[in-house]
Structure 1
Amino acid sequence: MQSNNLRGIILSSIFAAITAILAQVQFDVSIVPFSGQTLAVGLTATIIGSRLGSLSMICYMLLGAIGLPVFSGFSGGPQIIAGPTGGFIIGFIFTAFVTGWILEKTKFTIPVAIFANIIGMIITLTFGVVQLKYIADMSWNAAMATGVYPFIIVGIMKAVLASWIGIIVRRRLEKARLLSITSEERKIA
């Protein structure tokens, strides 16, 4: 039991670090940059599931909130969370939970993972656009044009990529006994 808890903490920490690294892959297009963060969130949830995935995103957000440069553009600090793009980061926690939960309640396959990751993308964009609208004092149309529409196609591509890579990595981790399969997952498999 204690080794499983330690393994979970280590996995959550590793995926928080992966998110920080992929956050630095970015292209500025407006207030909201294209970055690898959402790909990392999808990978995290697909590989380690709802509980550890959301814990990983909480860890990532807290590291950035205390000022470590883990957010896109090597930024950090509470002003990022409270700023126009902070809703996307907050949304990562819920995205990881829901994406992982869908997979845990159904089956860890690439088609289900794509569905779960697209739902996750919608959650991230929803959190992001709401905060963007209110913090940047935009109309709903302007907030959608800035924080949603440019990200739909790329988001779907990232959802597919996170699903494909995530399921392959998850299966290999399970085979190496580095990731435990729950009894509920065994019944479905």
Structure 2
Amino acid sequence: MTETNRRLKNFILAALFAALIAILAQVTIPLPLVPITGQTLAVGLTATVLGSRYGTLAILIYILMGVIGLPVFSEAKGGLPVLIGPTGGFITGFVVTAYVTGLILEKSRFTFWPALLANLIGMVVTLLFGWIQLKYVMSWGWGQALAVGVYPFLAVGVIKAALAAYLGVLVRKRLVSARLISSPHISQ
């Protein structure tokens, strides 16, 4: 297989994972300001399967789809106002989350325990970005932003990190077996 074909496969996978994030973003549990969504599960899954480079590309595609107005963000929202609103920090944090999660796995191994650790660190990164933006957009103190934008998501975040690790490693192994991605890492 040529390098061009490998890159094309990786770009297609990134686009497919961007679509998966958009779909799982619609799975929501409403909370007063920031809902619990399937987005973070999808971001962890994306980074675990695709690694840092193409996982980050998938996130950028997803965000671009939302910025141009497609209803891909939670509750079928789209447009730039979502990114500069109270929940925008979580979404922009996904870029760093995907990169860090994927990089940790590339530097270690694509197995469950490293994937769990990488996804837990990714969860912290997402919450950090969300917390900071929530504080400034809502003109709240750090404690209030923490109470609204971090604490409600910790327990479910750990569960989503474990699911992303388990499913991501499983899907990655299947894609490697099908020769859709290279082992141990995606071709760069």
Equivalent of 1:35 in 34, 37, 40: 37
Counterpart Cα distance in 1 of 2:57 and 2:116: 21
Which aligned segments of 4 or more residues in structure 1 are displaced greater than 2 angstroms? Answer: 182-185
Counterpart of 2:98 (choices 81, 84, 96) is 96
TM (norm. structure 1) is 0.95
> How far, CA to CA, are the matches of 1:182 and 1:113 in structure 2?
14
Match of 2:175 in 1: 173
Paired residue total: 185
Counterpart of 2:49 in structure 1 is 47
When normalised by structure 2's length, the TM-score is 0.96
Aligned equivalent of 2:119: 117
Letter in 2 for 1:155: G
Separation in 2, partners of 1:45, 1:183: 12
Structure 1 counterpart of 2:58, which letter?
A: S
Shift of 1:30: 2.0
2:85 aligned partner: 83
Structure 2 residues without counterparts, runs of 5 or longer: none
Task: Name the CA shift for 1:183/1:58 in 2 (closer, same or farther; >3 Å).
Answer: closer
CA distance 1:45–1:4, change in 2 (3 Å): same
Q: CA RMSD in A?
A: 1.3
CA contact (8 A) 2:56 2:95 kept: yes
Q: From the superposition, tell whether residues 69 and 174 of structure 1 become closer, same or farther in structure 2 (CA, over 3 Å).
A: same
* Percent pairwise identity: 54
User: Which residue number in structure 2 is paired with residue 3 of structure 1?
Assistant: 5
The 1-side partners of 2:24 and 2:47 are apart by 15
Alpha-carbon deviation of 1:4? 1.2
> Shift in Å at residue 182 of structure 1?
4.9
Q: 1: CA distance between counterparts of 2:178 and 2:14? A: 18
Cα distance between partner residues in 2 of 1:2 and 1:148: 42
Cα distance in 2 between the residues matched to 1:59 and 1:183: 21
State the Cα distance separating 1:5 from its structure 2 match.
1.3
Deviation digits for residues 114-149 of structure 1, max 9, x if unmatched?
000000000000000000000111110110001000
Q: How many Å apart are 1:8 and its aligned residue?
A: 1.2
Matched residue, 2:26: 24
